[in-house]
């Protein structure tokens, strides 16, 4: 029997790829989206198998995050896996932006990338306890390497890594494993615009493979970390950056 899987931020990019790998494995997937119902519907329509659903929610709003989890459990008959993938690096907030822009960026980015994952995880844990479930977070190489043009994004991902490790200890006794995958630049979604021209050449040159990750590679790592075989990887932050940054 397939599992019930919630993927946040699944209307495109890495999230859509994650939804696809779980669906191909025979799981039923909740495709969460923030604003684009049309894109989410296209993802759902393209998933193999049956039982897939979609739900829109602003995860920066605690009650909407709670409704997402409860709707998922109700529609999929429970909850086995949560993938906290939803994230944003907008609005722009380089250090020379206005103080007003700086405040808005930090508030929004931390609210979505960190608090949203915390809200969803808290609401999901009672359901996950029933099935020795899994939480997989999508972090970032930026948590370690830094991101001067988007410091709130890097900080939120570093905090997400730390949150996941704390949670792994807190819920391990319930049989819930919590892990994180930390990609570098990925050729999809918010990563693709950085891969043009000389900037793109420089980014690809950071890896000895002279390329960046694909969304499918990230999705495959998430699928493994959510598997029964990966239980003892709980607390792990899996770097997926092609040796472009080593720690």
Active site residues: 153
Question: Is there a contact between 30 and 7 (Cβ–Cβ < 8 Å)?
Answer: yes
C-alpha span between 9 and 180 (Å, rounded): 16
Distances (CA, A) of 19 to 24, 63, 92, 180, 242: 9, 24, 28, 16, 23
Tokens of 221: 């790592």
Radius of gyration for the alpha carbons in the chain, expressed in angstroms and rounded: 17
Burial of residue 106, with CB atoms counted within 10 A of its CB: 0-12 exposed, 13-18 middle, 19 or more buried:
middle
Instruction: Using alpha carbons, select from 134, 24, 126 the residue that is nearest to residue 83.
Output: 134
């Amino acid at each position: 029997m397939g599992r019930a899987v919630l993927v946040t931020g699944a209307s495109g990019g890495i999230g859509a790829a994650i939804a696809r790998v779980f669906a191909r494995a025979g799981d039923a997937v909740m495709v969460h989206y923030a604003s684009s119902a049309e894109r989410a519907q296209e993802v759902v329509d393209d998933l193999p198998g049956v039982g897939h659903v979609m739900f829109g929610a602003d995860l920066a709003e605690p009650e909407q995050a709670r409704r997402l989890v409860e709707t998922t459990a109700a529609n999929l008959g429970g909850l086995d896996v949560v993938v906290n993938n939803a994230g944003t690096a907008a609005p722009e907030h380089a250090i020379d932006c206005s103080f007003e822009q700086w405040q808005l960026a930090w508030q929004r980015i931390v609210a979505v990338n960190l608090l949203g994952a915390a809200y969803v995880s808290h609401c999901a844990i009672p359901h996950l306890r029933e099935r020795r479930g899994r939480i997989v977070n999508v972090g970032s190489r930026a948590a370690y390497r830094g991101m001067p043009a988007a410091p709130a994004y890097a900080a939120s991902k570093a905090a997400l890594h730390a949150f996941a490790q704390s949670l792994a200890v807190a819920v391990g006794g319930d049989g819930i494993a919590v892990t994180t995958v930390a990609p570098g630049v990925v050729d999809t979604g918010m990563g693709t615009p950085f891969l043009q021209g000389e900037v793109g050449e420089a980014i690809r040159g950071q890896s000895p493979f002279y390329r960046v990750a694909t969304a499918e590679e990230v999705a495959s790592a998430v699928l493994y970390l959510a598997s029964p075989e990966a239980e003892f990887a709980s607390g792990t932050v899996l770097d997926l950056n092609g040796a472009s940054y080593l720690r």
